[in-house]
């Protein structure tokens, strides 16, 4: 039975966020609606979730010694990973001691790199995936590309938001792809996955909630990515009843194997009625930001509710909705969003500005949300708002 006491007292609950980006910020807000004390951690100061948390710590979560020290000092009721780059062996050890990791330490360990989750899905659960090979050095990489064939996709086994990802379309792309993967991994240079190119009609994220009520699914989220980083997402993605049933079956198999309570973003490719598993995140998913306008409980509210041990008896879907990422380019710690009154002129449009302190190169700094009578109109409405928005990147 879940009991929630007064915040920041001996009877209150405490949650520790490992990663404090825009997704963690929304989780922090939802936890605070239940009176939970939130401690935010990230590798840089003033991260989005830190701006709304009760307290924060700055350190690399790949530093197992510091991670262990902070967790023991705070002694949280819930440890909530928000990023993949975490010293997961420490989480496994702490969980054995009685600490509660969301959804489980094993889930964080398996999904922190693409190798663990791919082998679980394809080799243990028998779920259909794209053909793949892993490589630890350049010689193995050349062999993997030869075996998989061109075209193929290359990714570091540990990265997010498309960092280090590239597509090999011809032989001259092979060496640059290796270089990109080595530079883009979240833990630095290392092992990569080479995936066969999948011809698909569209790809989805099936947000899957495991709670004390059982397993519940959100409406399928369609999305468009550029170099592995999401740019648009929408709900619902139109798909056949057969494909949806297969997708839900795969999502349940994978999430049951990972265990625990919380929301999982299960990514899949759809070709007709065929469904091919891609990846899973045991936490809110960037493409799921559309749920902030499309549902009565966003993916963040669902995550908070489930991990606290509370039931999720129903998810009420409001109607066709879309999100468009606000990606800012430049090098500045002074980004100004202007002309908001015109961007928000149409009904059914919302904007979230994440509050990230700076941009170097390109960075997702906000999101536009829109709802309409159809998905196509919701996307068009988000585009119009984006076009009206002015972004000024001022010199440092």
> 3-state DSSP call for residue 232?
strand
Quote the Cα angle for 140-188-41, to 5°.
Answer: 140
Is 115 annotated in a binding site? The answer is no
Residues 20 and 364: their CA atoms lie apart, in Å, by 14
Q: Is 274 a catalytic residue?
A: no
Is 295 annotated in a binding site? The answer is no
Ramachandran quadrant class, 47 (left: phi over 0; alpha: psi -120 to 50; beta: rest): beta
Is 229 annotated in a binding site? The answer is no
Q: How many CA atoms lie within 13 A of 60 on its CB side?
A: 9
Q: Is 162 a catalytic residue?
A: yes
Is 197 annotated in a binding site? The answer is yes
Is 164 annotated in a binding site? The answer is yes
Is 219 annotated in a binding site? The answer is no
List the catalytic residue out of 104, 267, 294, 305. Answer: 267
Burial of 71 (0-12, 13-18, 19+ CB in 10 A): buried
List the catalytic residue out of 30, 37, 279, 299. Answer: 279
Is 161 annotated in a binding site? The answer is yes
> 3-state DSSP call for residue 331?
strand
List the catalytic residue out of 186, 191, 283, 364. Answer: 364
List the catalytic residue out of 37, 84, 173, 286. Answer: 286
Is 288 annotated in a binding site? The answer is no
Q: Is 55 a catalytic residue?
A: no
Is 123 annotated in a binding site? The answer is no
Q: Is 35 a catalytic residue?
A: no
Compute the radius of gyration of the chain from its Cα atoms: 21
DSSP 253: H
Q: Is 296 a catalytic residue?
A: no
List the catalytic residue out of 35, 64, 162, 355. Answer: 162
Q: Is 20 a catalytic residue?
A: no
List the catalytic residue out of 111, 211, 255, 287. Answer: 287
Residues 37 and 324: their CA atoms lie apart, in Å, by 31
Is 225 annotated in a binding site? The answer is no
Residues 65 and 343: their CA atoms lie apart, in Å, by 46
Is 23 annotated in a binding site? The answer is yes
DSSP 61: T
Q: Is 267 a catalytic residue?
A: yes
List the catalytic residue out of 20, 104, 129, 160. Answer: 160
Is 191 annotated in a binding site? The answer is no
Indicate the annotated binding residues for ATP: 114, 155, 160-165, 195-198, 203
Question: Annotated binding site for Mg(2+): which residue ranges?
Answer: 267, 279
Return binding residues: 22-23, 82, 114, 155, 160-165, 195-198, 203, 267, 279, 286, 356, 363-364
Q: Which residues does the annotation mark as catalytic?
A: 160, 162, 267, 279, 286-287, 364
């Amino acid at each position: 039975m879940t009991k929630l006491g007064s915040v920041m007292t001996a009877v209150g609950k405490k949650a520790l966020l490992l990663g404090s980006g825009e997704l963690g910020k929304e989780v922090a807000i939802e936890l605070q609606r239940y009176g939970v004390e939130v401690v935010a951690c990230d590798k840089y100061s003033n991260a989005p979730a830190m701006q709304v948390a009760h307290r924060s710590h700055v350190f690399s979560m790949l530093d197992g010694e510091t991670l262990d020290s902070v967790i023991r000092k705070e002694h949280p009721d819930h440890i909530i990973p928000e990023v993949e780059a975490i010293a997961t062996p420490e989480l496994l050890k702490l969980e054995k001691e009685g600490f509660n990791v969301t959804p489980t330490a094993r889930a964080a360990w398996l999904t922190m790199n693409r190798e663990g989750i791919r082998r679980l899905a394809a080799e243990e659960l028998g779920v259909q995936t794209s053909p793949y090979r892993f490589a630890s050095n350049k010689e193995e990489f050349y062999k993997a590309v030869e075996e998989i064939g061109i075209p193929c996709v290359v990714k570091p086994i540990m990265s997010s938001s498309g960092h280090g990802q590239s597509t090999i379309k011809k032989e001259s792309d092979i060496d640059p792809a290796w270089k990109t993967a080595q530079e883009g991994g979240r833990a630095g240079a290392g092992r990569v996955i080479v995936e066969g190119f999948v011809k698909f009609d569209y790809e989805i994220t099936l947000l899957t909630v495991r709670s004390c009520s059982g397993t519940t699914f959100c409406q399928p989220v369609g999305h468009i990515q550029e170099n592995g980083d999401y740019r648009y997402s929408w709900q619902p993605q139109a798909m056949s009843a057969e494909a949806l049933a297969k997708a839900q079956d795969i999502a349940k198999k994978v999430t049951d194997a990972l265990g625990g309570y919380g929301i999982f973003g299960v990514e899949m490719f759809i070709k007709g009625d065929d469904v091919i598993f891609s990846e899973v995140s045991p936490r809110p998913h960037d493409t799921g930001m559309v749920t902030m306008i499309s549902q009565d409980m966003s993916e963040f509210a669902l995550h908070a509710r489930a991990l606290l041990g509370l039931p999720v008896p129903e998810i009420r879907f409001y109607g066709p909705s879309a999100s468009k990422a606000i990606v800012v380019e430049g090098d500045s710690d002074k980004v100004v969003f202007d002309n908001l009154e015109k961007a928000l002129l149409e009904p059914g449009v919302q904007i979230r500005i994440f509050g990230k302190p700076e941009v170097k190169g390109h960075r997702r700094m906000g999101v536009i949300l829109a709802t309409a009578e159809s998905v196509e109109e919701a996307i068009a409405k988000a585009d119009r708002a984006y076009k009206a928005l002015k972004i000024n990147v001022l010199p440092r």
